[in-house]
Structure 1
Amino acid sequence: MTLKLSIVVGNPKPRSRTLKVAKTLATELFGPLSQGAEVIDLADYRDEILEWPSAKMDAVNARVADSDLVIFASPTYKATYSGLLKVFLDRYPANGLSGLVAIPLLTGADHAHAMGPTVNLAPLLVELGAVIPGRGFYFVIGQMDRMEEIVKDAAEQYAADLRRVAAVAEMLPQLRGLQKGMQH
């Protein structure tokens, strides 16, 4: 089985530090598998993202929805995520991200909005049907000199969370069998 990994970055600046943090997180989590990740820098789609209908944007949305795991990253704007990311996510219907695992990631100037990915971005992803393995990841841009260390710690926590979710998923057939036996 091949993991379909995507990175969606809603920074209006192309090839941003937010993109670098998201790619580093993917690399720390999945090593060489991250090299095959679909990287969508929404700054590259500024001219099309507000067009409805748009075959180009529909194709981008479909590729993301077909992923197994997506890192959704944005700089912090007004205590939340960018409008660029919001417009992209607004293109999905209800449950349009059903079943995929999503990691919300925000970058910012300081720790003032550290809960932003968990309290602002994660609920939107859940509303669209995504599964969030733990709290969101917030990275202070002023710590770029320590990025690898900080991202590695976050990746270790996500890996542990993903292992727990996978263990529960593996137990589901047994649990369902027990449940059926208890009903008879």
Structure 2
Amino acid sequence: MVTAAVVVGNPKPASRTRDAAERLAAALGADPTVIEVAELGPGLLGWGDAAVARAVGIVQQADIVIAASPTFKGTYTGLLKLFLDQFATATGLAGRVGIPFMLGAGPAHALAPELTLKPVLVELGAIAPAQGLYQLDSRYADDGSLDTWIERWAPAVLAAATVKEK
């Protein structure tokens, strides 16, 4: 079984973003560890905070990292960016499989995970073998988009997660 870390960049804990990302992890066969970035508080604004360092370490030990965010102004949240800034460029997520995941109010921003979040994960060293997943926040639980994504991309994600170097 692969391990997964769900990094939730929604300012509101226990959000739809978290629920949808946990559904994605479960569909991949993983029981994820969830990092609610909002709960890390002001330690995200500097370097050396113990709670932030523990969260970074948890993410770095996972096979799959699901970076989850609501869509704000056509991109991921600043809160998620603050957390991702804690990782070293090119090596911080080395060997991890990164999945950019975003929820949004409408289809206009469907490419946001691919265009805004995926490049950051790759810059941090993550392997990104699949298209980012975007779901409508009002329909993610029952619109079939997760099933469609899993059917198309789960084999590549799971293959990359099991053969990568750690």
Is TM more than 0.5 here? Answer: yes
Alpha-carbon distance change, 165 to 42 in structure 1, aligned in 2, over 3 angstroms: closer
- The answer for the alignment partner of 2:19 in structure 1 is 20
- The answer for the alignment partner of 1:43 in structure 2 is 38
* Equivalent pair of 2:62/2:96 in contact (CA under 8 Å): yes
- The answer for the alignment partner of 1:7 in structure 2 is 6
SS of alignment partner, residue 39 of structure 1: strand
Shift of 1:164: 5.9
Distance in 2 of aligned mates of 1:106 and 1:118: 10
**If the length of structure 2 is used for normalisation, what is the TM-score?**
0.90
Q: Does 1:134 align with 2:141?
A: no
Bigger radius of gyration: 1
Partner AA of 2:38 in structure 1: A
Per-residue CA deviations over 1:42-85 (Å, capped at 9, x if unaligned) read: 12112332242201111110110111111110001111100000
* Structural RMSD (CA): 2.0
**If the length of structure 1 is used for normalisation, what is the TM-score?**
0.81
State the number of aligned residues.
163
Shift of 1:100: 0.4
- The answer for the alignment partner of 1:29 in structure 2 is 28
Distance in 2 of aligned mates of 1:156 and 1:56: 36
Partner AA of 2:9 in structure 1: G
Kindly, what percent of the aligned residue pairs are identical?
39
Q: Does 1:153 align with 2:148?
A: yes
- The answer for the alignment partner of 1:78 in structure 2 is 73
Alpha-carbon distance change, 99 to 164 in structure 1, aligned in 2, over 3 angstroms: closer
Partner AA of 1:146 in structure 2: D
- The answer for the alignment partner of 1:124 in structure 2 is 120
* Equivalent pair of 1:70/1:102 in contact (CA under 8 Å): yes
- Contiguous gaps of at least 5 residues in structure 1: 171-184
Large movers: runs of 4+ above 3 Å? 163-167
Distance in 2 of aligned mates of 1:104 and 1:145: 18
* Equivalent pair of 2:122/2:128 in contact (CA under 8 Å): yes
Distance in 1 of aligned mates of 2:155 and 2:53: 34
Alpha-carbon distance change, 163 to 17 in structure 1, aligned in 2, over 3 angstroms: closer
